[in-house]
């Protein structure tokens, strides 16, 4: 059997399990996200802020992927969320089967939103469908304004892009216009949310989550189709 | 043939070519490095500063890996260096065969130092020997102080670690002691160089390159075994 054939089989097997995951979460009326970003762009900090700000309003579960340590799980748990940590060892991405097993450890009853914090990597996670409703790509201004152009597959696959650490714009070389132009060429339809998690400037993101979660619940008849946004004019 | 067997064959084939690369550069008296870091930690900026500061002193060649664009190659070329850009498409790392072909495009005669700027990724490049004399792992303080613990394979494999963007320490949450303690547990022998490429505080790195290059040349009888350091007390 050729190497190409093996890779095709792995992806086919992954897609089959992803479809099962997709149905499982759809039946439960849970909106879920695959959050992809490189190490240190602020994924875990975004989750901490999200959990604090939406506490009592939306029930959120988290699956956190990392090569090693349970540091992310501990940080998230401290915010009162249900969290499952997957340690991949040398694995550079999460796959649908890992997520399926993690889902077994989460009680989906009463859950509104599930966020998968993928392994910190802008490349490999893009190729593996987990069954999620939306892929969210995350960058930070500290990484430089050329990172969208250098990661076209993520930008094209993303349903939403986050540009974090905008509070550091004055200290780093980053031209937002360059970044936006590159994104526009690759995926004209995708929205870019400029956030500063450190300064808790994340309202458009929270509104997006509230809106998407309500829509998912409306489809299964579990919730209200008309959520109240945190701010006006959210995406 | 099982998937595991296929992976073993790929790595064995890679290692055979890496050994050829290693011999080729050794014969030419060139010291060479595999520089591994995540997107935006400052790899290309470090190369620009290195090329400017060592201009006229050491002949440097660069092989730059990226999924897409030739932006890095253009930046490096503007500094007057010989550069070959490898675009990997969806490939998450460079392998020995890609480097072998890139070497065909570089005249090794008169070259002292070759730096491979690997694809921005802290995981996959670690598993592929290119034939290099040294693996250098690069982090930035913007990524948070937990990144060494989360990437144990890179830290263990590294001959040198760079911690960049120390000029931003006052603006981000990063405890150098935490980072250093994690590294110490994983690889007690590896040195950590704290640099600020933006502020051109890179002298220990330049001294290390000068010293290593001179030693490689001394082994083939091409150069002086006693280089003059830029600063005293370099690693």
pLDDT digits (tens, 9 = 90+) for A1-27: 456 666 778 889 999 999 999 999 999
**B210 vs A14: CA distance, rounded Å:** 48
Q: Chain B: give the shortest CA distance to residue A57, in Å.
A: 29
Domain membership flag for residue B226: no
> Residues of B with CB below 8 A from A121's CB?
92, 121-124
Q: To the nearest 10°, report the CA torsion of A179, A148, B196, B94.
A: -160
Candidate from A40, A147, A168 with C-beta closest to B147 = A40
> Residues of A with CB below 8 A from B168's CB?
142, 168, 171-172
Domain membership flag for residue B164: yes
Domain that holds residue B79: 3-219
> Residues of A with CB below 8 A from B124's CB?
92, 121, 123-124
Domain membership flag for residue A235: no
What mean pLDDT value characterizes chain B? 92
Q: What percent of chain A has pLDDT over 70?
A: 91
Residue A21, helix vs strand vs coil: helix
| pTM metric for this prediction | 0.93
Residue A118, helix vs strand vs coil: coil
In this prediction, residue A233 carries a pLDDT of 40
What mean pLDDT value characterizes chain A? 92
Q: Chain B: give the shortest CA distance to residue A106, in Å.
A: 24
Tokens of B119: 């694809």
* Chain segment A180-229, per-residue pLDDT in tens: 999 999 999 999 999 999 999 999 999 999 999 999 988 876 554 455 66
Taking any CB pair shorter than 8 Å as contact, residues of chain A touching chain B are 1, 3, 6, 10, 38-40, 66-69, 71, 90, 92, 119-124, 126-127, 140, 142-144, 146-147, 149-153, 165, 168, 171-173, 198
Q: Is residue B72 over pLDDT 90?
A: yes
* Chain segment A25-55, per-residue pLDDT in tens: 999 999 999 999 999 999 999 999 999 999 9
Mean pLDDT (whole number) for B61-78 = 95
Q: Is residue B27 over pLDDT 80?
A: yes
Domain count, chain B: 1
Of residues A34 and B226, which shows the higher confidence score?
A34
Q: Is residue B226 over pLDDT 60?
A: no
**B31 vs B213: CA distance, rounded Å:** 5
Tell me which chain B residue has its CA closest to the CA of residue A44: B144
- Does the distance separating the beta carbons of A10 and B40 come in below 8 Å? no
Pick among A9, A11, A39, A152 to test the B interface (most B CBs inside 10 A): A39
Domain membership flag for residue B102: yes
In this prediction, residue B231 carries a pLDDT of 53
Domain membership flag for residue B224: no
Q: Are B101 and B48 in contact (CB under 8 A)?
A: no
Q: Are A138 and A42 in contact (CB under 8 A)?
A: yes
> How many other C-beta atoms lie within 10 A of the C-beta of residue A144?
22
- Does the distance separating the beta carbons of A140 and B67 come in below 8 Å? no
Mean pLDDT (whole number) for A79-88 = 93
Domain membership flag for residue A58: yes
Domain membership flag for residue B121: yes
* Chain segment B159-209, per-residue pLDDT in tens: 999 999 999 999 999 999 999 999 999 999 999 999 999 999 999 999 999
Instruction: Give phi and psi for A163, each to the nearest 5.
Output: -115, 110
Prediction ipTM score: 0.91
Domain membership flag for residue A146: yes
Pick among B66, B86, B123 to test the A interface (most A CBs inside 10 A): B123
CATH of residue A186: 3.40.50.300
């Amino acid at each position: 059997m050729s190497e190409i054939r093996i890779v095709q089989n792995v992806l086919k097997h992954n897609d089959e399990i992803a479809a099962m995951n997709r149905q499982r979460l759809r039946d439960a009326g849970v909106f879920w996200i695959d959050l992809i970003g490189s190490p240190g762009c602020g994924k875990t900090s975004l989750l901490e802020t999200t959990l604090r700000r939406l506490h009592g309003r939306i029930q959120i579960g988290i699956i956190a992927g990392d090569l090693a340590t349970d540091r992310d799980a501990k940080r998230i748990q401290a915010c009162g969320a249900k969290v499952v940590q997957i340690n991949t060892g040398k694995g550079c991405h999460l796959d649908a089967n890992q997520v399926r097993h993690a889902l077994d450890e989460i009680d989906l009853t009463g859950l509104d939103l599930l966020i998968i914090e993928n392994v910190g990597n802008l490349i490999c996670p893009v190729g593996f469908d987990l069954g999620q409703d939306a892929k969210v790509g995350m960058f930070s201004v500290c990484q430089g304004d050329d990172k969208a152009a250098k990661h076209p597959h993520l930008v094209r696959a993303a349903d939403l892009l986050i540009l974090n650490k905008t509070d550091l714009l004055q200290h780093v070389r980053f031209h937002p216009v360059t970044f936006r132009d590159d994104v526009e060429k690759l995926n004209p339809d995708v929205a870019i949310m400029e956030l500063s998690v450190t300064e808790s400037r994340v309202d458009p993101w929270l509104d997006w989550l509230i809106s998407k979660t309500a829509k998912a619940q409306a489809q299964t008849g579990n919730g209200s189709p008309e959520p109240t946004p945190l701010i006006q004019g959210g995406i």
